[in-house]
Chain A
Amino acid sequence: MKRVRISQQEIVFAVFAALFLTFSVFLSGFLSADNMLTLLQNVAVLGILGLAMAIVVIGRGIDLSLIAALAVPGGLVLQMVQNGHSLPASLLAAGLLSIAIGLVNGWLIAYAEVPPLFATLATGLFVAGLGQAALFQLDVVQWSEGMAGFERLGQGSILGIPTSIVMFAIACVVVFILLRKTRWGAYIYAIGDNPFASRVTGIPSRPIIVLQYVLAALIGCFAGLVLAASVNSMPTRIFNSTLIYDVILVVVLGGIGLSGGRGGVVNVIIGTLLIGTMLNGMTILNIPYAGQNLIKGLVLLIAVITDTLLNPRNEETAQQGDI
């Protein structure tokens, strides 16, 4: 008898579909076009971060400095403009800072061979500390006159679709093309699948690892700018929040194994949709905060347990969660 194999991705999609159907039937106002857009809009930044994390995780790494890469360059733009610099100069400075963060991460991991968990943990702390000590006057960097017009990156809509969703879509397309249509993308999968074999076959694995982290930092910076534009300020203290876990959750829940080499943009979208649906439904139901955490935890546990039951682990199938 042939066993039915259902992948993590399909399970999560099924959970998402079930939740979505339940909310649509029982929650008036959930299944309106307006609410769907709001749902997506609320998780757009999380989704963009998920894409950055996906690139790194597919290449068998992890980037814990991602939230610092979101908060500090983004905050730097707002702070520099507030101090009287021009917007293009500030954006350039933020871009350079992001590239520097990525280069340091990549160098530590690819050349100094520090495990990515520790390397990015340290750089994340360093960058966040640098921002707090040297760059920002206050934790929340406010919007200023010089930023006028830039808020369109995160507010308003393009052809009726809220801009942050459009930004998420653009990021999805770019990352999809990079991963699936370019040689670099193929290299990232190869390195994630088997770093030693890929090196033997002549793939420039070290520069590609550096590239992964530079891309992640740049996407992080982009997510930061979208976030700042959407709330008209940069709450740099976001580094101390649990956002990084949500990002890892989106990636792992969507079915991108932490052992690398698997998954893609679709997985990030599925993970993001599940989180978005849960948050939106629970907000409409006006469930208190503690209850929301309980439900979130429960749904995740169900997803993980179902996966373990349907796909028992052994050395060959070892995947998400197994570092």
Chain B
Amino acid sequence: MASVHKFALGSIAALALSASAAPALAQQGLDEPFQKPFREALAGKTVAYVPVAMNFDLTEGWYAGLKKELEPFGVKFVIRDPNWNTNAGAQAVTSLISEKPAVMVIHNPDVQTYAKLLQRAENEGIYVIQINMGSAYRSSAFVGANWIEIGERQTEGVVKACQGKSNKIAIIQGALSAAASAYTLKGVENILAKHPEIKVVSSQAADWDAAKAKAITQTVLKQNPDLCGIVGFWDGMDIGTAAAIKEAGLTGKVFLATSGGGERKGACELVKNGSFDLNMSYDVPTQAAQMAGTIKWLLSSGAKPGSVKGSEYTTLIPITKENADTQTACWNLSDLKK
């Protein structure tokens, strides 16, 4: 005990001494020891971005968000746009591996195609961040939506809206080859397993195509005018589903749940005008910020690529009539690009 007291007294004395010297120190400023290595770790590094295609709200949003976050630190940001061509994408990833960027941000077209390539990239010392669509290989980081959760929450919304009604629902899937579509369907099945009273009268793939979605929905609504809800897999496609509901005069009677990146024109505006009843948004600017944060952390950590692996599943924003008017529920691509 005595020694503790002695130590405490000594510390107070030391504090008093340093206090008398403090004014001089304050004038000189204090160096923060970690910012310089951080800046050095980022400056001049190359981050390569391989989306499935540019020119749609998600990939444009991620691009703008990453650029805004990383370029001020002297990071060189390059993009390879395979324009929906899986082979071109695999070639882009292969050639990037030999170009050795510090980080690759990869948006997988499916679970398998890039898996081996991404493993090779991390073995060669490149951090790989996979976004929104993961592959079979688990890399340094995954940032993106949990499709199973999206399917579950959309279906919960539809099931709730169906209470006391016909309990007949339809499912408009995306493309059969897309894992995002298959995962979402799994989520739908999870909820339907708990609700045996719900009858699925139609479950068809519309290939992410609004015109096909509209054609399917029209036929289904003619056969089942008492349908109470539809689970759609992407808002860009379900604009067609919504058009079919509107033409049948069933807006407000058929509950339409969909999902997307939350861009104002494609999400909030359409919820406001009654086209969609629920749009599960994976808020693209937040995803972009999380990607950028992960890149900063990885580059400054000095961790060996592939030695740490983690996931950042996006917190979903359910957009309904209640919040569609707010500033924060949706984002504008034009603002993000500024």
A286 and B216 alpha carbons, distance in the complex (Å): 10
- Pick the interface stretch among A6-14, A53-61, A233-241, A263-271: A233-241
A230 and B333 alpha carbons, distance in the complex (Å): 25
Please give the number of chain B residues whose Cβ is less than 8 angstroms from any Cβ of chain A in the complex.
Answer: 37
B243 close to A231 (CB less than 8 A): yes
A38 close to B266 (CB less than 8 A): no
Q: B66 contacts the other chain (Cβ, under 8 Å)?
A: no
Chain B residues with Cβ under 8 A from A105's Cβ? none
With A136-B55, A240-B84 known as contacts, the answer to whether A230 contacts B222 (CB < 8 A) is no
Chain A residues with Cβ under 8 A from B301's Cβ? none
Instruction: Mark contacts of B235-272 with chain A using CB atoms, 8 A cut-off: 1 yes-contact digit, 0 otherwise.
Output: 01001101100110000000000000000011001000
Q: Is the interface of B mostly helix, strand, loop or mixed?
A: helix
Name the residue among B53, B214, B269 with the largest chain A CB count within 10 angstroms: B214
Residue pairs across A and B with CB atoms within 8 Å: the count is: 94
Q: Looking at chain A, what size class is its interface with the partner chain?
A: 35 or more
Q: A319 contacts the other chain (Cβ, under 8 Å)?
A: no
A231 close to B240 (CB less than 8 A): yes
Chain A residues with Cβ under 8 A from B226's Cβ? none
Instruction: Mark contacts of A232-253 with chain B using CB atoms, 8 A cut-off: 1 yes-contact digit, 0 otherwise.
Output: 1101011011000000000000
A231 close to B211 (CB less than 8 A): yes
With A139-B55, A235-B211 known as contacts, the answer to whether A284 contacts B223 (CB < 8 A) is yes
A155 close to B247 (CB less than 8 A): yes
With A139-B55, A140-B236, A235-B210 known as contacts, the answer to whether A289 contacts B204 (CB < 8 A) is yes
Taking beta carbons and an 8 Å cutoff, which residues of A are in contact with B? Answer: 29, 32, 34-35, 38-39, 41-42, 45, 132, 136-140, 142, 144, 155-156, 162, 227, 230-233, 235, 237-238, 240-241, 279-280, 283-284, 286, 288-290
Q: 10 smallest A-B Cβ distances: which pairs?
A: A42-B215, A231-B210, A231-B240, A289-B205, A283-B219, A142-B265, A139-B55, A139-B56, A38-B218, A29-B223
Can you give 26 contacting A-B residue pairs, CB < 8 Å? A34-B222, A35-B223, A136-B55, A137-B55, A139-B56, A140-B210, A140-B266, A142-B239, A142-B265, A155-B243, A155-B247, A156-B247, A227-B211, A230-B211, A231-B214, A232-B239, A233-B236, A235-B209, A235-B236, A237-B84, A238-B211, A240-B83, A283-B216, A284-B223, A288-B205, A289-B204
Taking beta carbons and an 8 Å cutoff, which residues of B are in contact with A? Answer: 53, 55-57, 60, 83-84, 176, 201-205, 207, 209-211, 214-216, 218-220, 222-223, 236, 239-240, 242-243, 246-247, 265-266, 269, 275, 333
